[in-house]
């Protein structure tokens, strides 16, 4: 794709890249797990969820640090339930991703933001989420046509914040000038630090008003998609 196309002067960016979960799309793991386990005849409780997260959260850190693969994360997090239900962790993981796709919805203002950006900048997604969910979710929400590139860490073999996944995206984008690229995401460690590592501009989608982690300074910080539209002059 060419990086020297002419764009509207309304936005300073030729490309806007988005994280997926909790940036563009609603993501409620507890709701998804409750729906998934109901299919196996299990009433999934808040206590069950807390136990699941005790396993799941460290696995995500290890994945983002490059210490385990996507396949390992998806398998290990369901091993305790696999033993209880006598169902393979792979089947449980696939059922979970299917359930998450069923409850998927764009966050408030996301669809309007993408529509406002149409014709004014190229758009892409860089996600640490998994292929099985991302493609189905884009199709079900009808948003797939907005995006020129979709970069999924599971496919690339590198997860944010590793600069390698951003370099892969920039290659697909035709190597635009980095100051013309904006990365938008809710996770300061993977999205914002990753963007900074890659030398592109960053916008922290900080709905809950958290303090920025030490040493991480985004170029912009917004609490809504409408606020980002204003920053972009849309």
Catalogue the active-site residues: 19
Q: Which of 120, 128, 178 is nearest to 156 (CA)?
A: 128
Cβ neighbours for 214, distance < 8 A, ≥ 6 positions apart = none
Helix%, strand%, coil% for the chain, nearest 5: 50, 15, 40
Structure tokens at 229: 């539209």
* Alpha helical stretches, state H, the chain: 29-38, 46-64, 70-76, 79-85, 89-102, 110-117, 131-141, 153-156, 163-172, 193-198, 225-231
- Using the structure block, give the residue that is written with the tokens 């030729």: 14
Q: Which DSSP string corresponds to 100-117? A: HHHT--BPTTHHHHHHHH
- Using the structure block, give the residue that is written with the tokens 């997860």: 159
How far out from the chain centre does Cα 96 lie?
17
């Amino acid at each position: 794709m060419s990086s020297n196309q002419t764009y509207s002067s309304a936005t300073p960016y030729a490309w806007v890249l988005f994280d997926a979960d909790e940036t563009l799309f609603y993501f409620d793991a507890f709701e998804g797990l409750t729906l998934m386990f109901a299919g196996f005849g299990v009433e999934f409780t808040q206590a069950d969820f807390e136990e699941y997260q005790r396993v799941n959260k460290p696995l995500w850190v290890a994945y983002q640090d490059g210490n385990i693969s996507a396949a390992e994360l998806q398998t290990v997090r369901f091993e305790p339930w696999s033993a209880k239900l006598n169902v393979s962790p792979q089947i449980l993981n696939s059922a979970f991703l299917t359930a998450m796709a069923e409850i998927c919805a764009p966050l408030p203002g996301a669809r309007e933001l993408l529509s406002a950006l149409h014709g004014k900048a190229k758009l892409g997604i860089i996600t640490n989420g998994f292929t099985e969910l991302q493609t189905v979710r884009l199709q079900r929400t009808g948003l797939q046509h907005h995006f020129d590139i979709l970069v999924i860490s599971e496919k690339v073999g590198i997860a944010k914040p590793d600069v390698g996944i951003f370099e892969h995206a920039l290659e697909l984008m035709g190597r635009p000038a980095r100051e013309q690229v904006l990365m938008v995401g809710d996770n300061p460690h993977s999205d914002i630090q990753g963007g900074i590592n890659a030398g592109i501009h960053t916008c922290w989608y900080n709905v809950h008003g958290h303090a920025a982690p030490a040493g991480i300074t985004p170029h912009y910080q917004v609490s809504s998609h409408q606020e980002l539209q204003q920053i972009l002059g849309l």
